[in-house]
Structure 1
Amino acid sequence: MKKYLLLLLIGSSFLTACAQDQFQRTSKGTMYKNFTNNTGDRIKVGDIVTINAIQKTDKDSILYSSYKGAPIKVQVQAEGDMMDVLPLLTLKDSAMIKVPTDSLFKDPHAQRPAFFPKGSSLIILLHVEKIQSLQEAMAEREADAAKKQADEVTLVDKYVADHKLTVITTASGLKYKVVQAGIKPKPIAGDSVYVNYVGHTLEGKIFDTSYEQVAKSAGLQQIGREYEPLKFVLGQQGIIPGWQEGILLLNEGSKATLIIPSKLAYGDKAAGPDIPPYSTLVFDIELVKVVRSKAAAPAAATKKPAAKRTTKKKTTTKKTTVATKKQQ
């Protein structure tokens, strides 16, 4: 936070100074001012650069700040105002880029925001945090992913132990516990299923439910939503793999807990503020109803021609034919 405020103060003072000092221009005409001029290798096209940035109007109104979230990682390209300036910088450099908004709204049909009147500028303040080659960035990402996956396994094992759960683990890594077994058959791919559920993180944070009262208690109630069992067709896209696999293991009417690892859920992607990357999810579910898919009617059995048996009686020369049906 102190770093963020300090940069704002620095940015404001530089804006005042730049009103008098002339900006430099790149070979492509982008206006910029480098505040630091550190020594070291400069950024190259193709590098992966981690930066913190603030976007503001030339009246000092902040439009965006990465300091309120996370630093930005970008691969340096050959085109663009910021991309034009990055190759002039090195590690820990800070710079200001001035982009005339008239160049951003050349299309007469484009909607120009009121805070960007004609003749105004977009100001970008940036600080270079890290410079990597593509290979270095990929290696870092893979190492980070491996660590998060290992941490995820540790957290799941702790959750199971802390809650004294006896679970079955499938080959895919799905863990489940049947709380109440149903007596009707299990569904198969293609069947439509109706499922009530409460989804929460390992920390107990509820992020979704089909029960209205649970949604109210968790502060998740959505106006206009009908709280009822979720209906979907097993095997169709749109449902995470952990659900697809888990529900196939249950008889209709069953209640169960599914502990779904991230690789069977959202993987390395976030799914809203409560589900960061590499999150194991827990679902308490009830398989309320199964509607069997309409399988193609089996072809009618073809009857074999009736066999004919001729019986000769000794007392007469008349032939009697008896048609018999062969038992199928």
Structure 2
Amino acid sequence: MKKYFVLSVLGLLAAGQSFAQTGFTKTPKGALYNIVKPGNGAKVKVGDVITFQFTQKNDRDSLLGSSYKMGQPAKVQVQPSKSVADLMEVFSLLSVNDSVLVRVPTDSIFAGHEESRPAFLPKSSYLNFGIKIQKIQTMDEAMAERTAAMEKQRTEQAALAEKMRTAEVPSITAFIADKKLTPVTTASGLKYIVTAPGTGRKPKPFDTVMVNYVGHTLDGKVFDSSIAEVAQSAGLQQPGRNYEPIKFVVGGGQVIPGWDEGLLLLNEGSKATFIIPSKLAYGERGAGDDIKPYSPLWFDVELVKVIAGKGKPVTPAVAAGKKAAPKKAGAKKPAVKKKVTRK
């Protein structure tokens, strides 16, 4: 069956072409081929990377695979042929822009493992292919092209992300004006207002904190809370949840970056409002139905308790909010871990 799956990436050039025609040549391994439209371009060599369009059919004209349906051509490096199933001996006979019809005997493909033969490829039948060679490259040329394409994609994604982040600014500005707020803005872009100062100690990175919170989108929708009355009033469905301050290591990447930064600015007992741009929240991914990609968020928080002592540091990627920190065995699952979720 392995050989069959190798063939599944190849195919037949035109859905309506008939293979009951003369003009086929037999390869040493038993494939039949007919170059129906020569391209007269550069010849394929072993080691080259070829780009080609394909479709694939059985003898009943049923389409089994198609690069056209996949939306992009196939690529493969031409290697010395190991079996009739790999079609490498046919590829090595072709040139740029050649259109070729190929018939591969299924008896050769399934020799020794007939139990893997599907019903649509009976004995004495053929797999029928059509291939059009679009491009021939050396491996270095193909790798350079791939690298350039990836770099272009990264550049385009970065430009889109910056455009979306810039589009957040008017909504944040309107929110602040509507609420008549005068926040402090940090270098990262976090905005915060201390609404009730606390008198306790400030947490240090990797201290453990206990926090009550209410999370809103800027249009006022409550998407999560550690407070039972708030969750009930907002209609949140969080069956089995214990409504109590959540406990986690601050600065350890267990929550979104805006929280890690903002909580380190507060004293124990403080209440504050955080206005968090998406780059310090859930960025391009968003979180569930309520938090769309590139959504700034609004949190009301209360730093209930600070417990001195080093928590477990995490990698820079985790601390930057790339992924959640691992949960210790037996620890309670925090309500806010990498993202504030609706439960």
TM-score with structure 1 length normalisation? Answer: 0.52
Residues 1:10 and 1:138: Cα distance change in structure 2 (over 3 Å): closer
Within-5 A mapping of 1:136-155: 136-155=141-160
Q: Which amino acid aligns with 1:52?
A: Q
Structure 1 CA distance for aligned equivalents of residues 255 and 37 of structure 2: 53
Partner residue, 1:34? 35
Cα offsets for 1:63-85 (capped at 9, x unmatched)? 11111221111111212532221
- Counterpart of 1:118 (choices 118, 123, 148) is 123
1:135 aligns with 2:140: yes
Deviation at 1:177, TM superposition (A): 4.7
Who is 1:53 aligned against?
Answer: 54
Name the residue aligned to 2:76. 74
CA offsets 1:1-58 (integer angstroms, 9 cap, x no match): xxxxxx9895523x2xx41315212233322111112213211111111111101111
Output the CA distance in 1 between the equivalents of 2:207 and 2:74. 42
- Kindly provide the CA deviation profile for residues 132-172 of structure 1, in whole angstroms up to 9, marking residues without a partner as x: 111111221222222222222222222122221689787xx
Q: Aligned with 1:163: secondary structure?
A: helix
Displacement after TM superposition at 1:112 (Å)? 2.3
What is the CA–CA distance in structure 1 between the aligned matches of 2:142 and 2:32, rounded to whole Å?
29
Q: Specify the code of the residue in structure 2 equivalent to 1:41.
A: A
CA distance in structure 2 between the partners assigned to 1:34 and 1:51 by the alignment: 14
CA distance 1:109–1:161, shift in 2 (3 Å): same
- Per-residue CA deviation, residues 89-117 of structure 1 (Å, 9 max, x unaligned), is 11111111211222222344643222112
Query: Take 1:75 and 1:155, find their aligned partners in 2: how far apart are those partners?
Result: 34
Larger-Rg structure: 1
Q: CA deviation at 1:180?
A: 9.0
Confirm or deny: 8 A CA contact 1:54 1:64 kept in the other structure.
yes
- Partner SS state of residue 108, structure 2: helix
**Given residue 91 of structure 2, which amino acid in structure 1 is its aligned partner?**
L
Q: Distance in 1 between the 2:192 and 2:275 partners?
A: 5
Check conservation: 1:179, 1:257, Cα contact below 8 A: no
* Cα contact 2:208–2:311 (8 A) shared by 1: no
Taking a change above 3 Å as real, the CA distance of residues 187 and 295 of structure 1, as seen in their structure-2 partners, is closer
Structure-1 separation of matches of 2:136 and 2:208:
50
Residue 44 of structure 1: aligned partner: 45
Letter in 1 for 2:279: I
Per-residue CA deviations over 1:180-221 (Å, capped at 9, x if unaligned) read 999995885999xxxx999xxxxxxxxxxx99xxxxxxxxxx
Match of 1:259 in 2: 279
| Cross-structure match for 1:269 | none
Partner residue, 1:161: 166
Superposed, 1:290-309 pairs within 5 Å as: none
Change (3 A) 1:61 1:185: farther
Contact 1:197–1:284 (8 Å) recurs in 2: no
Letter in 1 for 2:16: S
Against the structure 1 CA distance between its residues 257 and 129, is the aligned structure 2 distance closer, same or farther, given a 3 Å change threshold?
same
The whole-number CA distance in structure 2 between the counterparts of 1:179 and 1:107 is 71
Aligned to 2:229: none
Letter in 1 for 2:167: D
1:179 Cα shift? 7.8
**Corresponding residue SS for 2:43:** coil
In the alignment, the residues of structure 2 paired with residue 242 and residue 74 of structure 1 have an alpha-carbon distance, to the nearest angstrom, of 43
Aligned partners of 2:192 and 2:262 also within 8 Å? no
Question: Structure 1's 40 and 168: CA in aligned 2 closer, same or farther, altered over 3 A?
Answer: farther
Misfit runs of 4+, over 6 Å? 166-170, 178-184, 241-247, 252-255, 283-286, 292-296
How many residues are aligned here?
228
| SS of equivalent to 1:12 | coil
Matched-pair identity in %: 33
Aligned to 1:299: none
Instruction: Tell me which residue corresponds to 1:105.
Output: 110
Greater relative CO (CA pairs within 8 A, separation 6+): 2
| Mapped partners of 2:133, 2:207: distance in 1 | 51
Q: TM-score, normalised by structure 2?
A: 0.50
Once residues 68 and 165 of structure 2 are traced to their aligned partners in structure 1, the CA distance between those partners, rounded to angstroms, is 37
Q: Please identify, of 30-39 and 47-56, the stretch whose mean Cα deviation from structure 2 is larger.
A: 30-39
What are the ranges of 5 or more consecutive residues in structure 1 without an aligned counterpart? 1-6, 171-175, 199-209, 212-225, 235-240, 267-280, 297-328
Q: Which amino acid aligns with 2:58?
A: T
The aligned amino acid for 1:72 is: A
Contact 1:30 1:81 in 2 (8 A): no
Structure 2 CA distance for aligned equivalents of residues 87 and 9 of structure 1:
18
Q: Secondary structure at the match of 2:16?
A: helix
Matches within 5 A, 1:1-328: 10-13=14-17, 15=18, 18-68=19-69, 69-79=71-81, 80-108=85-113, 110-164=115-169, 177=190, 188=206, 249=261, 251=263, 256-259=276-279, 282=294
